[in-house]
């Protein structure tokens, strides 16, 4: 197995120990704009990585692309380059009626399907895909105390087959107590567990699979309006923690 990054062509020391990851390159740039003394450390393959400072603490922001295979490459290579804490900031589709656009989900675990690429990481041993519990609780409390939006701590599901999601699947997942659906958290939590680093996630509800009035995913500019409140709070959390 490669133990040297071949997609993120960053020099040693250019990736911070504390990293925020997102799927969208434009949102990577948006989050990086909250940092000071920002340096672009990778553009290769579209996996943008920026490193800067928040409250004087070095933090990187990285793009992991869409879905488990792409994200797995980025998570592995960030760890190779020195990442010790990775927090995914992404969007998620609500699976319960009382979650609405603009609400926040902090996952305490991520289910995944038997066809998930996650199983390739574990040689078909089904590991629980859970974030670092201590980090997640502290992250949840930090965000909850500082935002006016509803925030839910719950189980999500990571599913790569974006266009296979259906009302029947949404109802089934909702009955199982799964609060929302996205694509990459199970991969992050599994890799971080295997590699011995800490991880967590803060997810913004972009749409709903159970509320027809909120089925459409809004324009990225609207999502960024929601993120404008959340991003500095997450960066502040990262700058303060001493795990």
Read off the pLDDT of residues 160-171 as tens digits, 9 standing for 90 and up.
888 877 888 888
Residue 11 located in a structural domain: no
Q: List residues bridging with 180 in a β-sheet.
A: 94, 156
Flag whether pLDDT at 49 surpasses 80: yes
Report in angstroms the alpha-carbon separations of 112 from 81, 137, 186.
Answer: 27, 22, 7
Say what the pLDDT of residue 2 is: 55
Q: Tell me how far apart the 2 most distant CA atoms of the chain are, in Å.
A: 48
- CA torsion sign for 169, 127, 152, 224 is negative
Close Cβ partners of 119 (under 8 Å, ≥ 6 residues apart): 125, 126
The pLDDT tens digits of the residues spanning 75-122 come to: 999 999 999 999 999 999 999 999 999 999 999 999 998 888 888 888
Instruction: Assess whether pLDDT exceeds 90 at residue 142.
Output: yes
User: Residue 236's Cα: distance from chain center in Å?
Assistant: 17
pLDDT at residue 162, as a whole number: 85
| pLDDT above 90 (res 234) | yes
Instruction: Give me the mean pLDDT over the 129-140 stretch.
Output: 98
What's the rounded Cα separation, in Å, for the pair 67 and 23? 8
CA distances from 37 to 40, 152, 171, 229, 234 (A): 10, 33, 46, 21, 18
Number of structural domains (the chain) is: 1
Per-residue burial over 154-189, b if 16 or more Cβ lie within 10 Å, else e, is bbbbbbbeeeeeeeebbeebbeeebbbbbbbbbbbb
Cα–Cα distance for residue pair 87/19, rounded to 1 Å: 6
Q: How confident is the model at residue 126 (pLDDT cuts 50, 70, 90)?
A: confident
Q: What residue numbers bound the domain in which 56 lies?
A: 18-240
The pLDDT of 6-13, averaged and rounded, is 92
Which among 202, 127, 210 has a CA at the least distance from the CA of 173?
Answer: 210
6 pLDDT more than 60 = yes
Tell me the CATH number at 171. 3.40.50.1580
In a domain, 3, yes or no: no
**Quick one: pLDDT at residue 58?**
98
Residue 96 lies in a domain: yes
Which of 52-61, 101-110, 122-131, 148-157 is least confident?
122-131
Give the global pTM: 0.95
How high is the pLDDT of residue 181? 97
- Domain-embedded: residue 13: no
Of the listed ranges 101-105, 123-127, 138-142, 227-231, the one predicted with least confidence: 123-127
* CA–CA gap between residue 109 and residue 151 (Å, rounded): 15
Query: What is the separation of C-alpha 146 from the centre of its chain, rounded to a whole number of angstroms?
Result: 19
Residue 236 is assigned to a structural domain of this protein = yes
């Amino acid at each position: 197995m490669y133990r040297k990054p071949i997609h993120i062509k960053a020099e040693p020391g250019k990736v911070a120990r504390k990293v925020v990851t997102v799927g969208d390159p434009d949102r990577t740039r948006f989050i990086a704009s909250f940092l000071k003394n920002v340096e672009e450390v990778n553009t290769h393959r579209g996996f943008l990585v920026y490193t800067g400072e928040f409250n004087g603490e070095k933090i990187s922001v990285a793009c992991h692309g869409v879905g488990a295979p792409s994200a797995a490459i980025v998570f592995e290579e960030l760890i190779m380059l020195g990442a010790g804490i990775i927090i995914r900031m992404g969007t998620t589709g609500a699976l319960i009626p009382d979650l609405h656009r603009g609400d926040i989900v902090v996952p305490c675990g991520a289910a995944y399907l038997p066809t998930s690429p996650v199983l390739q990481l574990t040689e078909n041993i089904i590991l629980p895909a859970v974030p670092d519990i201590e980090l997640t609780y502290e992250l949840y409390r930090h965000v909850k105390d500082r935002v006016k939006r509803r925030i839910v701590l719950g189980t999500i599901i990571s599913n790569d087959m974006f266009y296979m999601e259906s009302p029947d699947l949404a109802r089934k997942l909702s009955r199982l107590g799964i609060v929302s659906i996205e694509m990459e958290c199970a991969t992050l939590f599994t890799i971080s567990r295997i590699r011995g680093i800490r991880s967590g996630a803060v997810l913004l509800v972009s749409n709903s699979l159970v509320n027809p009035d909120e089925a459409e995913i809004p324009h990225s500019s609207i999502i960024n309006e929601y993120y404008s409140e959340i991003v500095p709070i997450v960066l502040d959390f990262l700058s303060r923690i001493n795990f």
